[in-house]
Structure 1
Amino acid sequence: MWNLPPSDTVLHVLQLVALTAQAMTAALAAGRRSMDWMGVAMLGCVTALGGGTIRDVLLGHYPLVWVQNPFYLALTGIAALVTIVVARTVQRLTLAFLVLDAIGLVVFTMAGCDVAWQMGASLPIVIVAGMITGCAGGVLRDILCNDVPLLFRAELYASVSVITGLFYATAFGLKLNDELWTVLTFVLGLSLRLLAIRYKWEMPKFVFNSEQR
């Protein structure tokens, strides 16, 4: 029988970093759409906490993470508002957006796997829960900004989440050092996502034209 998944200080710290990072990506996206400050704060909260909320609802995991920890609402809202000031000094917003989004993708994937495994879910559900947690917040952000979600138009994204989840889940049964494995998974996932961006690695695309015979 596999042991419980890592639930350590390293993962908790990374989660706080990821919440802040995702809120900042939302603020940058909101800025491109000229949203007011309230819209920036709300979009930050939805983006950072949306994936975990969807996961918890689907798994029946209550209370929701931000209900149990209202601090997360404050953290994400404030991070989004602070970005309004910081963004004016950042010259390469596109690069900042992608790096912050990659951090959120990887860390939230690990956190989602962690929650699902603690609930006794099977390995496939653990991986799906990780992917939902990692990807859904960004999808909500892009939909609210009237953009095609990054998940469906960019370099390897959901695939990175799946690979990260699989790698992270191996620690559940091998009795490996929790903190070390968490760091290794973070480095692997982040490196894979950034390399995919750098070298434009993509999944095969389906292109269909009804006029073609």
Structure 2
Amino acid sequence: MLTLLSYVAIAAQAMTAALTAGQRSMDWFGVCVLACVTALGGGTVRDIVLGHYPLYWVANPYVLLLASGAALLTIALAQFVDRLRWPFLLLDALGLVVFTIIGCNVAMQSGSHPIIVLVSGMVTGIVGGVLRDVLCNDVPLVFRSELYATVSLATAAVYYLGLKAGLNAELVSVAAASFGFAFRVAALIWHWNMPKFVYDKDLR
């Protein structure tokens, strides 16, 4: 089931990236590139850091077609985006928690330290969006306002601790994904944000 959800997550991340590309008037090639970077960038960085080869999209090249296809579909559906805002947000939340759990699994299979397991889950969940924003010359959204990285880290912690407690792996996956999804949706509804550091004094 996690594999199927990962494909849904890739498509969802690619579609949100395509919307960002459209807001910056990118051509269709740029839309597809940004979609692939966003959908697969987190897993790529994780695999490089952990020395986990081949990279996920190298071993499974069809995910490049999936991400690109989802991006092109978004172009076709762009006129309906206003009506699809919440479905997009929900799919993005699903993508976040699924990627996080997959990242934890890869790190655990590599025999990584618990801290690295949690960080790997978070990196898998959020780095694609960070790369998207950097390529679009924006301060990454995850650093500015929304509870996104926090949701990923909390999901990773629930998943890891559940497995270490000896609970059934499938049950833990469902519980962690449900918790993270609900956390992310609640943050969107009630506008939960991390405290900001604002320093505007001149140091000269």
Q: TM-score, normalised by structure 2?
A: 0.93
Counterpart of 1:171 in structure 2 is: 162
Matched, 1:122 2:113: yes
Match of 2:75 among 81, 84, 109: 84
**What is the CA–CA distance in structure 1 between the aligned matches of 2:125 and 2:22, rounded to whole Å?**
23
Q: Retained in 1: the 8 A contact 2:145–2:194?
A: no
The 1:76/1:109 distance shift into structure 2, 3 A limit, reads same
Mapping of 1:146-185 within 5 angstroms? Answer: 146-185=137-176
Q: CA deviation at 1:15?
A: 0.7
Q: Any unmatched runs of 5+ in structure 2?
A: none
CA contact (8 A) 1:28 1:93 kept: no
Determine what percentage of the aligned residue pairs are the same residue. Answer: 57
Counterpart in the other structure of 2:190: 199
The answer as to whether partners of 1:130 and 1:161 remain within 8 angstroms in 2 is yes
CA offset at residue 186 of structure 1? 1.3
State the distance in 2 between where 1:150 and 1:205 align.
Answer: 13
| 1:189 aligned partner | 180
Which residue identity is paired with 2:114?
A: L
Judge which range, 113-122 or 196-205, deviates more: 196-205
Aligned equivalents of 1:47 and 1:96: distance in 2?
18
Q: Is the 8 A contact 1:87 1:93 kept in 2?
A: no
* Higher RCO by CA contacts (8 Å cutoff, separation 6 or greater): 1
State the Cα deviation string for residues 129-159 of structure 1 (Å, max 9, x = none): 0111101000111111222211012221111
Q: Which amino acid aligns with 2:176?
A: T
How far is 1:178 from its partner? 2.2
State how many pairs are aligned. 203
User: Match for 1:121: what amino acid?
Assistant: S
Matching of residue 41 in structure 1 with residue 63 in structure 2: no
Secondary structure of 2:82's counterpart equals coil
Give, in whole Å, the separation in 2 of the partners of 1:122 and 1:116: 8
Q: Distance in 2 between matches of 1:43 and 1:100?
A: 18
RMSD (Å), alpha carbons: 1.6
Q: Distance in 1 between matches of 2:72 and 2:16?
A: 11
Query: 1:63 aligned to 42, 54, 68, which one?
Result: 54
Structure 1 position 182, deviation (Å): 1.3
Of 22, 43, 58, the residue aligned with 1:52 is 43
Aligned match of 1:135: 126
Following TM superposition, by how much is the alpha carbon of 1:97 offset from its aligned partner in structure 2, in angstroms? 4.4
Counterpart of 1:90 in 2: which secondary structure? helix
Provide runs of 4+ in structure 1 moved above 6 Å: none
Which consecutive residues of structure 1, in runs of 5 or more, have no partner in the other structure? 1-9
